[in-house]
């Protein structure tokens, strides 16, 4: 999944790669591929720049993307009105009937897109916080940013009577306010990962009690709606929620690209990052803001979905065999995890549809138990 653009001198330290077979027309800028044990080098021209692609992450990432496509077609095929994969693909290509267009385009496609985007955003957010804290437990649902976004959404929903837009704004405000409080309380000559996690856990517990109090005091109908939404659900997915979510996610992509290099440097420690010319504290602050924004848009769209941000980066790291947490691979595996969980939530107890957060909690709880057992055994 991880790629680097480098010239020849930047490749020192990588395993030796056998020379490429000469092409027929010498000097032409014809693409050639060098296959090595661990990397593939795609070179344009005899002295042009090289694109170094790590073989295992690339293959694992491609397989994960293909699996996401298969699950997406399955999600749009299954239901009370069953369609074949061929009918789904024909409808997506504009060759369906009025009935299949209603089922696929209007009803099922928004849910699939929301599952992919929310899962990807949570995976990337988890990668950011786990890299900043250099701890596999450093995810927004553990640190408390999920709870903060949920508090902001509940204030807007229950106390102010706001709709979806107001709930979205409330989730953003709550998540950013929680991040500011955690940052200020954890700041002591800089931000240290362990202190950030401990402060975040305390803030999360406090906000959890506030959220429970607001639900208990609310009108019964509103309280039931808030409780169901608070478990994390895609059952109300539609284009009116999917389009703003997609627009905000696309708007955050340039910021993620700009912050990828500072995040990679910070994984090696503040001193190593500073030696690379990275201004560490501003970089941490911007990464914190972007991570909270990703968490907030997910919470506003579907409620606080737990454990995806915790598990996806670590699953990606183990599957790709990488020593670090990549935002791209974490996003892909987050999308895969949430889309698969949503399929289980919809069809495991059909016709009853479970909130997807129930499934992610069950899967994530087992993963967390394994992770804690593994860390205790290692220590």
Closest CA to 192 of 180, 202, 182: 182
Q: Which domain holds residue 219?
A: 115-374
Position 370 scores a pLDDT of 79
Do residue 99 and residue 148 come from a single domain?
no
Do residue 164 and residue 269 come from a single domain?
yes
Do residue 85 and residue 148 come from a single domain?
no
- Is residue 27 assigned to a domain? no
Do residue 218 and residue 87 come from a single domain?
no
Q: What angle do CA 84, 89, 90 make, to 5 degrees?
A: 95
- Is residue 323 assigned to a domain? yes
Q: What is the mean pLDDT of residues 231-242?
A: 86
Complete DSSP assignment for 271-340: HHHHHTT--HHHHHHHHHHHHHHHHHHHHHHH----SHHHHHHHHHHHHHT-SS--HHHHHHHHHHHHHH
pLDDT in tens, 33-92: 443 346 655 555 565 555 555 667 778 888 999 999 999 999 999 988 889 999 999 999
pLDDT at position 379 over 90: no
Which residues are 365's β-sheet partners? none
pLDDT-above-90 percentage for the chain: 17
Do residue 179 and residue 87 come from a single domain?
no
Position 8 scores a pLDDT of 38
Mean pLDDT taken over the chain: 80
How many domains does one find in the chain?
Answer: 2
Position 230 scores a pLDDT of 80
- Is residue 291 assigned to a domain? yes
pLDDT band at 113 (very low <50, low <70, confident <90, very high): very high
Position 53 scores a pLDDT of 59
CATH number of the domain at 368, please: 1.10.3470.10
Q: Of the spans 41-50, 124-133, 161-170, which averages the highest pLDDT?
A: 124-133
Would you say 41 and 55 are in contact if contact means Cβ atoms under 8 Å apart?
no
pLDDT at position 95 over 80: yes
pLDDT in tens, 60-74: 888 999 999 999 999
pLDDT at position 28 over 70: no
Residue 42 main-chain phi, psi, to 5 deg: -105, 115
What pTM was estimated for this model as a whole? Answer: 0.80
pLDDT at position 280 over 60: yes
Closest CA to 334 of 136, 118, 137: 118
Closest CA to 315 of 329, 303, 302: 329
Would you say 267 and 128 are in contact if contact means Cβ atoms under 8 Å apart?
no
pLDDT at position 189 over 80: no
Do residue 227 and residue 305 come from a single domain?
yes
């Amino acid at each position: 999944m991880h790629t680097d653009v480098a010239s020849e001198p930047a490749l020192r330290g990588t395993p030796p790669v056998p020379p490429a077979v000469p092409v027929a027309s010498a000097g032409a800028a014809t693409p050639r591929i060098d296959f090595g044990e661990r990397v593939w080098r795609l070179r344009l021209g005899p002295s042009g720049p090289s694109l170094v692609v790590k073989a295992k992450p690339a293959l694992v990432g491609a397989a994960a993307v293909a699996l996401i496509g298969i699950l997406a077609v399955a999600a749009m095929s299954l239901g009370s009105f069953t369609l074949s994969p061929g009918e789904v693909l024909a409808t997506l290509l504009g060759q369906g009937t009025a009935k299949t267009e209603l089922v696929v385009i209007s009803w099922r496609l928004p849910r699939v897109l929301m599952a992919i985007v929310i899962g990807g955003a949570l995976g990337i957010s988890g990668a950011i916080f786990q890299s900043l804290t250099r701890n596999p437990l450093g995810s927004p649902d553990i640190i408390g940013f999920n709870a903060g976004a949920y508090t902001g959404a509940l204030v807007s929903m229950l106390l102010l009577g706001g709709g979806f837009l107001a709930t979205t704004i409330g989730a953003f405000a709550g998540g950013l306010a929680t991040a500011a409080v955690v940052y200020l309380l954890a700041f002591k000559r800089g931000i240290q990962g362990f202190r950030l996690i401990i402060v975040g856990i305390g803030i999360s517990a406090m906000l959890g009690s506030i959220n429970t109090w607001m639900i208990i005091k609310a009108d019964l109908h509103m309280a039931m709606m808030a409780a169901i939404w608070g478990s994390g659900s895609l059952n109300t997915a539609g284009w009116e929620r999917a389009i703003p979510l997609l627009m905000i996610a696309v708007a955050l992509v340039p910021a993620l690209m700009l912050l990828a290099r500072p995040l990679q440097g910070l994984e090696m420690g503040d001193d190593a990052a500073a030696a690379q010319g990275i201004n560490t504290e501003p970089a941490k602050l911007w990464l914190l803001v972007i991570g909270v924004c990703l968490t907030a848009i997910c919470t506003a769209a579907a409620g606080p979905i737990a454990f995806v941000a915790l598990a996806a980066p670590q699953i990606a790291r183990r599957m790709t065999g990488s020593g670090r947490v990549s935002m791209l691979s974490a996003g892909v595996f987050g999308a895969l995890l949430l889309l698969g969980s949503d399929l289980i939530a919809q069809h495991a107890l059909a016709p009853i549809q479970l909130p997807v957060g129930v499934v992610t909690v069950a899967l994530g709880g087992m993963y967390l138990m394994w992770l804690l057992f593994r860390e205790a055994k290692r220590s």
